[in-house]
Amino acid sequence: MKDENFLKANNARSLWHPMTAPADSLKNPPAIITSASGVRIKDIDGHEVVDAVGGLWNVNLGYSCQPIKDAIAAQLDALPYYSIFRGTSNDKVIELAEELRAFFEPDGLTRAFYTSGGSDSVETALRLARQYHKIKGEPGRIKYLSLKKGYHGTHFGGASVNGNANFRTAYEPLLPGCHHIPAPYPYRNPFNETDPAKLAQLCLQALEDEIAFQGAGTIAAFIMEPVLGAGGVIPPHESFMPGVSAICRKNGILLIADEVITAFGRTGAWTGSRLWGVQPDFSCTAKAITNAYFPFGAVMIAEGVAQVFEKDETGRAAIGHGYTYSGHPVGAAAALATLAETKRLRVNENAAARGAQLFEGLKALKAKHSAIGDVRGGHGLMLAIEMVGDRATKSAPDKAVPATVQKVAYESGAMVRVSGPNIILSPPLVITEGDAEVILGALDKGFAAL
């Protein structure tokens, strides 16, 4: 490794960081993480903290999961790469598809299409949704509906259904035919409705209204996260996703569940769709599918949709889509080992228990610190604190506030993520009660420093 001074001096000299202004990286040098173990990361200065970000919602099993490391090493020796485009396959992708089929069986999802990450998975589902309608003889169904505040990655398709201007404006014009409805976000919404159940109904009415306005026969799919993540952790009322599903079915619109964060236990249920008792037409997965150790994803496809493609006699079902790394054998080997560990450790149960503990802790912090306007959670290890300048007006916090809380929390033992006015918590699903206390204590110190 280059020496410490070289790394600190050169960090942003020759590299641009995602989701950051290049000048900001030069002005505010990031923590340089050089090692990790268990649920802790260590920086170049030897400072070790609990990783309350869980990598980026993806290191669900922590940093020391030996079976996955072993599986990756063994696969590199056996077959480091081969394509699964027409005419070739490999043993690991076949085995993995069977495992995924069993895992997602309760969600009604029985086929896998492999990708290299979350944005790829979203792009794949959006494309296959349009093709499905073309195969069925409804080529006019080309539009997409989604939620404001939703996050669906950064490809042009994903950015077009994204519900946050930060990921859109600089890259416009985006895909035509993408329309957004209000998110079921009780703290701020255009209906001024704080009751989650009533708000869910209002948002569902807005969806019906938009479908009537656009014309159901022009819409291919509705895409949503079962619990909105990057937009600030917004768990909808339990009636919302089932309501969306019913409206989609009634109108012949496919439902795409973006489970890039929620699949594999994060919400306390094995999938976000299962949390709400919904069976989507597509489910986008990535991130925790390999515990982040290898870039990989899978779009899971409902049996009914699969049948339309597989039984096609029109010649319209050839899939003209795929990535060089779709079905990478090393990724598939990593995913097989990850899935086995995920199930063996029943991480969904710990996610539920530790999520409840953190949610109670965040509520206590809100009672203590006036900079906290709202805390959200209640569904496993996806939680957020929304900071405000003034609770009565819900004004934005002073610019220095999120940065100060994050810095002091880091010095006090926990890495937390700041996104706009929100502090987002998405720790590994294997954190202990003690680790959760460390996170809460560090945040307490962060807010006390304001």
Ligand X SMILES: Cc1ncc(COP(=O)(O)O)c(C=O)c1O
Q: Which of 63, 113, 114, 151 binds ligand X (CB under 6 A)?
A: 151
Cα distances (angstroms) measured from residue 265 to each of 235, 383, 435:
15, 14, 19
- How far is it, in rounded angstroms, from Cα 272 to Cα 77? 36
CB 116, min distance to ligand X, A: 8
Closer CB to ligand X, residue 146 or residue 279? Answer: 146
Cβ 308 vs Cβ 132: under 8 Å? yes
Residue 230 CA to residue 57 CA, distance in Å, equals: 10
Residues 6+ apart with CB under 8 A from 228: 147, 149, 150, 151, 183, 185, 234, 235, 236
Contact code string over 329-368 relative to ligand X, x by CB under 6 A: ----------------------------------------
Diameter over CA atoms, the chain: 67
Euclidean distance between CA atoms 227 and 237, whole angstroms: 10
Binding segment for ligand X (CB under 6 A), chosen from 145-153, 208-216, 340-348, 388-396, is: 145-153
- Return the CA Rg of the chain: 22
What's the closest the beta carbon of residue 299 comes to ligand X, in angstroms? 11
Q: Which string of x and - marks every residue 191-230 that binds ligand X (by CB under 6 A)?
A: ----------------------------------x---xx
Number of chain residues interacting with ligand X (CB under 6 A): 14
Rounded CA gap, 366 and 371, in Å? 8
Nearer to ligand X, 115 or 245 (CB): 115
- Residue 204 phi/psi, 5° resolution? -65, -40
Q: How many CB atoms lie within 10 A of CB 134?
A: 17
Question: Which parts of 281-310 interact with ligand X (CB under 6 A)?
Answer: 286
- Distance separating alpha carbons of residues 139 and 132, to the nearest angstrom: 9
Amino acid identity of 275?
L
CB of 154 to ligand X, least distance (A): 6
- Min dist. Cβ of residue 158 to ligand X (A): 6
Q: Which is nearer to ligand X, 151 or 410 (CB)?
A: 151
User: How far, in Å, CA of 163 to CA of 319, rounded?
Assistant: 28
Can you tell me the distance from the alpha carbon of 192 to that of 347, in angstroms, rounded to the nearest whole number? 37
Binding-site string for ligand X from residue 41 to residue 80, where x marks contact by CB under 6 A and - marks none: ----------------------------------------
- CB closer to ligand X, 267 vs 412: 267
Question: Per-residue x/- marks for ligand X, 84-123, CB under 6 A?
Answer: ---------------------------------xxx--x-
- Using the rule CB under 6 A, which residue among 111, 141, 148, 152 binds ligand X? 152
258 contacts ligand X (rule: CB under 6 A) = yes
Residues 166-195 that bind ligand X (CB under 6 A): none
User: Residue 396 class from Cβ within 10 Å (0-12 exposed, 13-18 middle, 19+ buried)?
Assistant: middle
Closer residue to ligand X (CB): 53 or 333? 53
Q: Minimum distance from CB of 150 to ligand X (Å)?
A: 8
List interacting residues with ligand X (CB under 6 A): 117-119, 122, 151-153, 225, 229-230, 258, 260-261, 286
